Structure 1
Amino acid sequence: MSKNATFADQPGRPALFYGWIVVASAFATTFVGFGSAYTFSAFLNALQAEFAASRGSVSLVFSLAGFLYFALGVLSGPLADRWGARRLLVAGMVLTGAGMALAGMARTLGEVYAAYAIGIGVGVGLAYVPALGTIQRWFVRRRGFASGLAVSGIGVGTLVMPPLAAFLIDHWGWRTAYLVLGVGAVVVGVGMAMLVADDPRDRGLWPDGDLAPPAPVAGTTAASPAGFGLMEALKTRRFAALYVACMLCSFGLFVPFVHLVPYALDQGIAQTSAVLLLGAIGVGSTAGRFFLGNVADRMGREPALILMYAGMAASLLVWLLSIGLWGLAVFALVFGVFYGGCVALLPALVADYFGGKNIGAIIGVLYTGVAIGTLVGPTAAGYIFDATRSYSLVIVASIGGNLVAAAIMWAVARWSRSGGAA
């Protein structure tokens, strides 16, 4: 068979490779989980008014949930490697929906903290890393593209869920909005989570739907197909560099998801237009995940990740210099593209470096760095705003973090070319 033969050219292959069903399941669970989490900006002003709270203290609601859903990957990743991803995804979707509903019943800000942390924080934490880890086992040649499609659920969720939340808040109040979103999360999330499957070999298949074991892919390591052990991977320079780069990027990564809408409202922009800025991040993010993952499969995932970090830094500069709706819309769209591309690339790059056997555990540990940045960044931004009435210092720090992350990955790429990256 020709090296360039298409899927349909290969006799014996099913009409639809089940890996794409797994991608659809991961898409739906990331749509529900992160879409639910990213509605928070639409609720921020209502929560401030309801509980007479500062912007910093309300921002901590999101930061606690974000810390948990990234930090818990260190547990959910190994559990998925051992038990399978399906039961974790189902439990995560149930908790996410319950957390939204309970937040709508909260009588104190502390109860909102608990509902978000236990519900969305733990719920997304149980589902996210297992969903990503599973995709890496189903694909090799098209790993970046498949990962991008799966996590584009985050981008579409960011596009759809915040405007839907704003509509529900305007018509029925924030408490009913949370209840409606919670019920929807359970129905859609659990239904799609039931479709996930852990390994193509369990169905008599090979990655990418091939009829034989895959040949080594250009740009991957020469590690055995089983991959690195967890402790073996953690001792490498590549892992240490990725960890620091992810943490530095994450200090500013989620600030727009919490503070862009309040920032726009402070500039006199109408609520309906301000919420659409999150939708613009979602549009850009979806495009970035869909297209840049595929581009990275061709140009190499290391240089592509450097481009993502540099692009986020440049987009944040646009935010710093913007006044008015259109400037913020340009920022949101461009930021979304590079943020989405970054999220799509990371799991595929980890699989390239360390193999697939312990991919869930390795990604889970890596994302504890993201958790630290998520906990500190949005909350610090809120308190800095309370003290200075400005986000300028926060945005400058976010630009710096992304530039340093890009420099770190540039060093990793140099190690790779010299054969000394391990």
Structure 2
Amino acid sequence: MTNDRTISRPGMFYGWFVVAAAFTVMMLGFGSAYTFSAFVESLQRDFGASRGSVSLVFSLAGFLYFGLGIVSGPLADRWGSRRLAIAGMILIGLGLAAASLARNLTEVYVAYGLGVGLGVGASYVPAIGAVQRWFVRRRGFASGLAVSGIGIGTLVMPPLAAFFIDTLGWRTAYLVLGGLTAVIGAGMALLIENDPRDRGLGPDGDPVKPGVQSMTPTGASVGEAVRSRQFIGLYIACLICSFGVFVPFVHLVPYALDHDVAKSSAVLLLGVIGVGSTVGRFFLGGLADRMGRHTSLLAMFVGMGLALAIWAVAANVWSLAVFAFAYGVFYGGWVAVLPAVVMDYFGGCNVSGIIGILYTSVAFGTLIGPSAAGFAFDVSGSYMVPILASVAANIVAAAIMVVMSKAAAPA
């Protein structure tokens, strides 16, 4: 008798449920991580710490959650993405709960760094990797829709965290955020499935021809991919741009407060990044399917660089809001298009593992960039040098993409 899970049924294509699950996992995971800027002032005050040392909390977590993809990606290819995503959501909840009990900044490093870092790392690459296998024609759109959860999380979670901090204190705020992430995130992660063939479907809901269901996805091995010119170029471009990519997520609120912006408005600037990010992920992901994903990725690097140039001259809440929206659009587009480009180049056989290795480049940039910006501020009293360095990093990344396009066209 045929298992009813393998029967193609009329109705909504199940790939969209996978997208919805990945959306929620990223909304809660990254949303919890990106609330960190709202906690900087409280952590500095309660632990008597410098801005650089507090920023290092986020940098350590970011290094782990992007670096862990090198492990979680291959594990997802082997064991399935659902298990990794569920474990990640629970780890984030436990990490935030442990951070609420910290007696010093070192304990925040351990609790937040390990909990949020390992949790997002365990869930992000497996979730986005699963989405890639369910789509071909609309891969850019589906990928953009899934990662738009990060944008919605950036819009919703920081103001929510600020509200909890003001009404309950920062410790209880971490506890509440941890509970929400563990319960809702793990519940939605149950919907993630690795491969449409398990439901008797092809990508995009197309019927599968007899005998194709048992075939494994095609594509390059991990070794073939990482030795290729395309992968090396992508890795270097992402490494360089990542030194500046996450600086705004940690330092935009402190920057705004330094320029006499009210705290409530300063925190909302992170939400503006989230709005822009959602627009970028949703619309630019779909646009990339039509104009070419390689070309679109190049445009995202240029756009982030130009947006960061606006930050360099912004001095009030309105100019900062313009920067935040513009930056969010291109940052969101970058996150949406990058996994789809990897799938275009290397196929679906080992896509999660390849994405995981690629994201170690982002891990190193995230480890250094936000904390270096904080220490630069401690020394100079200004963010000008790290902002201009971030602009330059994105322009260099764009130049690398131009060289790649001339050296080899995408598969």
Q: Same fold (TM over 0.5)?
A: yes
Per-residue CA distance 1:197-238 (angstroms, 9 max, x = gap): 11000110100000146xxxxxxxxxx951000000011010
Aligned to 2:5: none
Aligned to 1:229: 221
TM-score computed with the length of structure 1 as normaliser: 0.93
Residue 289 (structure 2) pairs with residue 294 (structure 1): no
* Separation (CA, whole Å) in 2 of partners of 1:269 and 1:101: 30
* Separation (CA, whole Å) in 1 of partners of 2:314 and 2:171: 33
Q: Secondary structure at the match of 2:408?
A: helix
Residue 333 (structure 2) pairs with residue 341 (structure 1): yes
Structure 1 residue corresponding to 2:92, chosen from 79, 91, 96? 96
Are the aligned partners of 1:245 and 1:405 in contact in 2 as well (CA < 8 Å)? yes
Structure 1 residue corresponding to 2:195, chosen from 199, 210, 214? 199
* Separation (CA, whole Å) in 1 of partners of 2:147 and 2:123: 12
* Separation (CA, whole Å) in 1 of partners of 2:69 and 2:287: 27
* Separation (CA, whole Å) in 2 of partners of 1:172 and 1:390: 32
Aligned to 1:138: 134
Q: Secondary structure at the match of 2:22?
A: helix
Per-residue CA distance 1:348-383 (angstroms, 9 max, x = gap): 000000000100110000000000000000000000
- What is the correspondence of 1:193-342 to structure 2 with a 5 Å cutoff? 193-212=189-208, 226-342=218-334
User: Counterpart of 2:89 in structure 1: which amino acid?
Assistant: M
Aligned identity (percent) is 65
Aligned to 1:82: 78
* Separation (CA, whole Å) in 2 of partners of 1:19 and 1:409: 31
Aligned to 1:19: 15
Alignment RMSD (CA, Å): 1.2
Aligned to 1:127: 123
* Separation (CA, whole Å) in 2 of partners of 1:117 and 1:75: 17
Runs of 4 or more, structure 1, over 3 Å off, are: none
**Alpha-carbon distance, 1:13 to partner:** 6.2
Per-residue CA distance 1:6-49 (angstroms, 9 max, x = gap): xxxxxx86210000000000000000100000000000000000
Structure 2 residue corresponding to 1:47, chosen from 23, 43, 46? 43
Structure 2 residue corresponding to 1:118, chosen from 102, 114, 121? 114
* Separation (CA, whole Å) in 1 of partners of 2:320 and 2:219: 43
Aligned to 1:359: 351
**Alpha-carbon distance, 1:415 to partner:** 2.3
**Alpha-carbon distance, 1:416 to partner:** 3.1
**Alpha-carbon distance, 1:321 to partner:** 1.0
Aligned to 1:404: 396
Are the aligned partners of 1:13 and 1:209 in contact in 2 as well (CA < 8 Å)? no
* Separation (CA, whole Å) in 1 of partners of 2:264 and 2:203: 44
Aligned to 1:6: none
Are the aligned partners of 2:230 and 2:408 in contact in 1 as well (CA < 8 Å)? no
Aligned to 2:24: 28
Are the aligned partners of 2:96 and 2:116 in contact in 1 as well (CA < 8 Å)? yes
**Alpha-carbon distance, 1:254 to partner:** 0.3
Aligned to 2:3: none
Unaligned runs of 5+ in 2: 1-7, 210-215
**Alpha-carbon distance, 1:323 to partner:** 1.2
* Separation (CA, whole Å) in 2 of partners of 1:414 and 1:205: 37
* Separation (CA, whole Å) in 1 of partners of 2:207 and 2:342: 25
Q: Secondary structure at the match of 1:196?
A: coil
Q: Secondary structure at the match of 1:268?
A: coil
Structure 1 residue corresponding to 2:152, chosen from 139, 143, 156? 156
> Between Structure 1 and Structure 2, how many residues are aligned?
398
Q: Secondary structure at the match of 1:106?
A: coil
User: Counterpart of 1:48 in structure 2: which amino acid?
Assistant: Q
Unaligned runs of 5+ in 1: 1-11, 214-223
Residue 33 (structure 2) pairs with residue 37 (structure 1): yes
**Alpha-carbon distance, 1:263 to partner:** 0.4
TM-score computed with the length of structure 2 as normaliser: 0.95
**Alpha-carbon distance, 1:77 to partner:** 0.2
* Separation (CA, whole Å) in 2 of partners of 1:212 and 1:173: 55
Are the aligned partners of 2:60 and 2:109 in contact in 1 as well (CA < 8 Å)? yes
Are the aligned partners of 1:13 and 1:210 in contact in 2 as well (CA < 8 Å)? no
Are the aligned partners of 2:95 and 2:116 in contact in 1 as well (CA < 8 Å)? yes
User: Counterpart of 1:294 in structure 2: which amino acid?
Assistant: G
